[in-house]
Structure 1
């Protein structure tokens, strides 16, 4: 099915041990956006998430499942799903978490904005955006990380680490997703930065982010630390390239 003015749309939902949430979140998404398809990408969850996903797909032709044999990072799961979606001919490919932190009822905000953008991010840190049930330490970590991204990479995106977003097909084709190597949570920043470097339009719309109530979070201090290290490397490399370019011109 299609979404007004955008063509065929699919939301990619990566899962690992989300048996408590997958039926609930897919049901909400299908109710909120009946014209949007759902693709579940399961990383061989030992808790039976993949089996539950298969049952959803059997009952609903607009739900599909991609089974992966290894758990090698959020970015790798998304890239796999994106390629499957591109091969299937989708015009818009989105991403969201399976744990309910991204509310399907707010997806229309992103899709409506995509009419005049190439990538739309559901942002927690622009006016109108918010988080629910986060401790102050987690909020400071996220805000600080995004500030660091803006300073190091020279971008204006307020929430480059957000995982609720929609891409045009042409965007994913322009940034050559087969060359993306970031596998963990830094994947989100990587994709946004690549979109900007390609000269494409990135927009943000406010969302209310709700911390998961069921299941375990995959975020950790080690994950955040590794993400900051990668941003630092990218930022220093970008500055070196600009300095070298200016030197050559002179």
Structure 2
């Protein structure tokens, strides 16, 4: 059976309008949230690989409004996806994540792991995030630059920006040394996300700033932070899988980064 009854969230949380399709009842302590929009066979292959790992997580697809049929419910049932959330309101990645995180917390998950749905990340590393959550860490950042990690075909401009601008600035604001803060492969404890001093469920988080903000704010408040090694593989040739396009998009993203480091988004 497919359940479309909404999971209620606190009235003071700002959550985008969305549709909830529960495919299976909750059965695990942690939710694996995968944000997607029109990822085609990339997300399908990724979900098959996750299914093969038989991990102790409930898989939640956070769709931004795909029109390519890649996340139809019949396929998602076949690969053991727990729920499909479809954003109908405004906003981009941060809005998708607010939708999914609010739903997962209201459903009682003790922690959330997030991995991009574009097939670049080695999903075998999910088990390392589970272990870190079990060990009491509150924010776990995946890093391709940690020993045991792997960076394959990383575009040079992204390597420069991530290594010498993004990670140093986030580390400065967080008071914790991160090495790969452009990487969306990460985990959070429910305790940290529910802290009113974090307060992620606000309409100010629309595009990409929620990821930057959480990387700064959670360690800043004294929560336990760590990095785990991951692999990230870009295609050798052809178009790079990304939703951030052009100079304007990258400039806007760096503006959000600086605001997060300055504390602009702190409640």
TM-score, length basis structure 2: 0.77
**Is this contact kept in 2: 1:123–1:204, CA < 8 A?**
yes
What is the root-mean-square deviation of aligned Cα atoms in Å? 2.6
SS of the residue 1:116 aligns to: coil
**For residues 59 and 88 of structure 1, what CA distance do their matches in structure 2 show?**
23
Name the CA shift for 1:89/1:231 in 2 (closer, same or farther; >3 Å).
same
**For residues 153 and 8 of structure 1, what CA distance do their matches in structure 2 show?**
27
**Is this contact kept in 1: 2:170–2:216, CA < 8 A?**
no
Structure 1 window deviating more from structure 2 (12-21 vs 137-146): it is 137-146
**Is this contact kept in 1: 2:138–2:223, CA < 8 A?**
yes
Partner of 1:66: 85
Name the CA shift for 1:25/1:71 in 2 (closer, same or farther; >3 Å).
farther
Offset of residue 183 of structure 1: 2.4
**Residue 77 in 1 paired to residue 102 in 2?**
no
**For residues 215 and 139 of structure 1, what CA distance do their matches in structure 2 show?**
14
Partner of 2:232: 209
Q: 1:22 aligns with which of 43, 58, 63?
A: 43
Q: 2:154 aligns with which of 127, 131, 134?
A: 134
**Residue 157 in 1 paired to residue 182 in 2?**
no
**Is this contact kept in 2: 1:123–1:162, CA < 8 A?**
yes
Structure 1 window deviating more from structure 2 (222-231 vs 19-28): it is 222-231
SS of the residue 1:204 aligns to: strand
Deviations 1:99-137 (A, max 9, x none): 121211111122212213111111123333331112322
Name the CA shift for 1:196/1:125 in 2 (closer, same or farther; >3 Å).
same
5+ residue gaps, structure 2, are 1-25
**For residues 218 and 46 of structure 2, what CA distance do their matches in structure 1 show?**
28
Name the CA shift for 1:162/1:47 in 2 (closer, same or farther; >3 Å).
same
**Residue 116 in 1 paired to residue 136 in 2?**
yes
Partner of 2:205: 182
5+ residue gaps, structure 1, are 239-250
**Is this contact kept in 2: 1:124–1:209, CA < 8 A?**
yes
Offset of residue 185 of structure 1: 2.7
**Is this contact kept in 2: 1:92–1:166, CA < 8 A?**
yes
**Structure (1/2) with the larger helix percentage:** 1
Paired residue total: 233
Structure 1 window deviating more from structure 2 (173-182 vs 11-20): it is 173-182
Partner of 2:252: 226
Offset of residue 66 of structure 1: 0.7
Structure 1 window deviating more from structure 2 (91-100 vs 223-232): it is 223-232
SS of the residue 1:179 aligns to: coil
